[in-house]
Amino acid sequence: MKFIFLAALLFTPFLLAAEKPKTAEEIMHGVQQSYAQQNQKMQGELRDDATGRTEPLELTLGNQVMGFLFTNPPVERIRLDFSATPAKLHQERNGKSRQVPASQMSNKVRGMDLNYEDLSLGFLYWPNPQILKEERLSLQKCWLLRVMNPGKDGPYHAVDIWVHQASGGAAKMEAYDISSKVIKRYEVVKIHKVNGTNALKELRVETLDPATGKTLGRTYMKMNTPANP
């Protein structure tokens, strides 16, 4: 069975793992590869929980590229190129295209609780992942992996990733600051059946206060029935 849901971004489909990985590097490599092997087109929206403001979104996957199109003015197109290692994030706005610089990866996307680091999935390429333990998430067996930021760029010092053992896909992520406090959390909260496949219906993204653990902002990504592009 395939699992199509979007996660650290993320917000991306996954394929059933052909063989059970044995190391953290093999598990992470499987997650990386599964993003690049899809051919889908989905319509949906981002919604700010506090204000109710929405941003229409078109998500496409194909030819090792994930594309995000935001049609509200100013129109913005974001492309994640998986043919590069690590994947490269490009932004098209006002007729100009550029690679998003490291200094702007913590900037919010469309004023929501997603930033460009989230969309870049850069943390999936951080070296030396570690398996912390195995645990269940929504009754599914998962590996809990941790990756550490090898540099000083970007908003996150470390990221924990829950990877479904059956599907090879990430179902939940938590990002930490330099003081090991959780500052971002992503989790799939709803899925639906599409042609016999489990597909993303709703993803919750939360920004947390590292001092108190309270939620500062919450954004939902809701996706409609996917179709071939």
Q: Where in 94-213 does DSSP place strands (E)?
A: 96-99, 130-137, 140-148, 158-164, 170-176, 182-194, 197-208
- pLDDT tens digit sequence for 156-176: 999 999 988 887 777 889 999
pLDDT score of 130: 96
Q: CB–CB of 89/100 below 8 Å?
A: yes
Distances 53 to 7, 44, 107, 215 between C-alpha atoms, Å? 21, 14, 18, 18
Q: CB–CB of 117/155 below 8 Å?
A: yes
- pLDDT tens digit sequence for 175-187: 999 999 999 998 8
The Cα angle at residue 120 between residues 195 and 20, in degrees rounded to 5:
55
pLDDT score of 201: 79
Q: CB–CB of 105/97 below 8 Å?
A: no
Q: Is the pLDDT of residue 59 over 60?
A: yes
User: How far, in Å, CA of 68 to CA of 133, rounded?
Assistant: 33
Backbone angles phi, psi at 209, to 5 degrees: -75, 120
Task: Quote the tokens at residue 42.
Answer: 């989905």
Q: CB–CB of 156/183 below 8 Å?
A: yes
228 or 135, higher pLDDT: 135
The sign of the torsion formed by the CA atoms of 157, 59, 54, 107 equals positive
DSSP assignment of 79-109: EEETTSSS-EEEEEETTEEEEPPGGGTTSBS
Average the pLDDT over 207-222 and give the result. Answer: 95
CATH of range 3-223; options 3.40.50.720, 2.50.20.10, 3.40.50.150, 3.50.50.60: 2.50.20.10
Share of the chain above pLDDT 70, in %: 82
- pLDDT tens digit sequence for 94-150: 889 999 988 888 999 999 998 998 888 788 889 999 999 999 987 889 999 999 999
Looking from the CA of 28 toward its CB, the CA atoms found within 13 Å total: 22
Q: CB–CB of 4/226 below 8 Å?
A: yes
The full set of domain ranges for the chain reads 3-223
For the chain, what is the total number of helices (H) and then of strands (E)?
2, 15
